[in-house]
Amino acid sequence: MKKSAIALALAATLSLVGSAFAGDLVIKGSTTVLPIAQSAAEKFMESNSDVAITVSGGGSGNGIKAIIDGTTDVANASRFIKNKEVSAAVENGTYPVPFAVAMDALIPVVHPSNRIKDLSIEQLKKIYKGEITNWKEVGGADAKIAVVGRDTSSGTYEVWESKIMNKDRVTQRALVVASNGAMVQTVAKNKLAIGYIGLGYLDKSVNALTVGGIEGTVKSVLDGDYPVSRYLYMFTKGWPTGDTLKFINFVLSDAGQEIVGNTGYIPLR
Amino acid sequence: MDERIPGWLITLTASLSLFIMVFLIYFLVQEGIPTLREVSLKELLLNFDWYPTEEPPALGMAPLIVGSMTVTLLSAVMAVPFSFLIAIFLSEVAPSWFREILKPALELLGFLPSIVLGFLGMVVLAPWLQERFDLLSGLNLFNASLLMGAMIVPIVASLAEESLQAVPRELRDACYALGSTRWETIRKVVLPAALPGLLSASLLGIMRALGETMVVLMAAGGAALVPISIFDPVRPLTSAIAAEMGETPVGSAHYHALFFAGLLLLAMTLGINLVSMWIEKKGKERWMA
pLDDT band at B27 (very low <50, low <70, confident <90, very high): very high
Residue B289 has what pLDDT? 54
Top-confidence range, A108-117, B89-98, B241-250: A108-117
Distances (CA, A) of B243 to A71, A182, A195, B227: 28, 12, 17, 20
The residue of chain A nearest to residue B52, with distances taken between CA atoms, is A152
Among B190, B188, B187, B182, residue whose Cα is nearest residue B161: B190
The better pLDDT of the pair A260, A178 is held by: A260
Contact criterion met (CB below 8 Å) for B218 and B121: yes
Res B158 pLDDT > 50: yes
Hey, how many other C-beta atoms are within 10 angstroms of the C-beta on A61? 17
CA distance B75 to B83: 12
Considering only CB atoms, which chain A residues are within 8 Å of B136? 144, 146, 192
Residue A16 has what pLDDT? 41
Residue A6 has what pLDDT? 47
Hey, how many other C-beta atoms are within 10 angstroms of the C-beta on A90? 12
Complex ipTM above 0.85?
Answer: no
The tens digit of pLDDT for each residue in B197-242 reads: 999 999 999 999 999 999 999 999 999 999 999 999 999 999 999 9
Ranges of H-type helices in chain A = 2-22, 34-47, 60-69, 83-91, 121-129, 155-160, 180-188, 218-222, 242-252, 254-262
Residue A111 has what pLDDT? 96
Assess A3–B contact: CB distance below 8 Å, yes or no: no
pLDDT band at B287 (very low <50, low <70, confident <90, very high): low
The better pLDDT of the pair B154, A201 is held by: B154
- Give how far B203 is from chain A: nearest CA, Å: 30
CA distance B243 to B254: 13
A53 bridge partner residues: A25
Residue B53 has what pLDDT? 82
In degrees, rounded to 5, the angle at the alpha carbon of residue B189 between the alpha carbons of residues B186 and B193 is 110
Which residue, among A173, A179, A187, A192, would best test binding to B if mutated, counting the most B CBs under 10 Å from its CB?
Answer: A173
The tens digit of pLDDT for each residue in A44-86 reads: 999 988 899 999 877 788 888 889 888 999 999 988 888 888 9
CA distance B282 to B277: 9
Considering only CB atoms, which chain A residues are within 8 Å of B235? 176
The residue of chain A nearest to residue B63, with distances taken between CA atoms, is A172
Contact criterion met (CB below 8 Å) for A168 and A125: yes
Burial of A198: CB neighbours in 10 Å, binned 0-12, 13-18, 19+:
buried
Residue A7 has what pLDDT? 47
CA distance B121 to B116: 9
Nearest by CB: A175 against B63, B222, B249: B222
Contact criterion met (CB below 8 Å) for B165 and B99: no
Contact criterion met (CB below 8 Å) for A80 and B268: no
Res B288 pLDDT > 70: no
Mean pLDDT of all residues belonging to chain B: 91
Assess B250–A contact: CB distance below 8 Å, yes or no: yes
Ranges of H-type helices in B212-232 = 214-219
Res A159 pLDDT > 90: no
Assess A193–B contact: CB distance below 8 Å, yes or no: yes
Nearest by CB: B139 against A57, A153, A175: A175
* Mean pLDDT in residue range B57-72: 94
Residue A259 has what pLDDT? 94
- In one letter, which amino acid is A29? G
At B110 the three-state DSSP class reads: coil
Residue B217 has what pLDDT? 92
Considering only CB atoms, which chain B residues are within 8 Å of A193? 137
Helix (H) or strand (E) holding B96: helix B96-109
The tens digit of pLDDT for each residue in B141-150 reads: 999 999 999 9
Assess A113–B contact: CB distance below 8 Å, yes or no: no
Least confident range from A33-42, B48-57, B68-77: namely: B48-57
Considering only CB atoms, which chain B residues are within 8 Å of A173? 223, 225, 233
Assess A47–B contact: CB distance below 8 Å, yes or no: no
Residue B1 has what pLDDT? 55
Which residue, among B48, B64, B136, B228, would best test binding to A if mutated, counting the most A CBs under 10 Å from its CB?
Answer: B136
The better pLDDT of the pair B113, B284 is held by: B113
Share of chain B above pLDDT 70, in %: 98
Among A56, A65, A52, A66, residue whose Cα is nearest residue A33: A56
* Mean pLDDT in residue range A83-97: 90
pLDDT band at B2 (very low <50, low <70, confident <90, very high): low
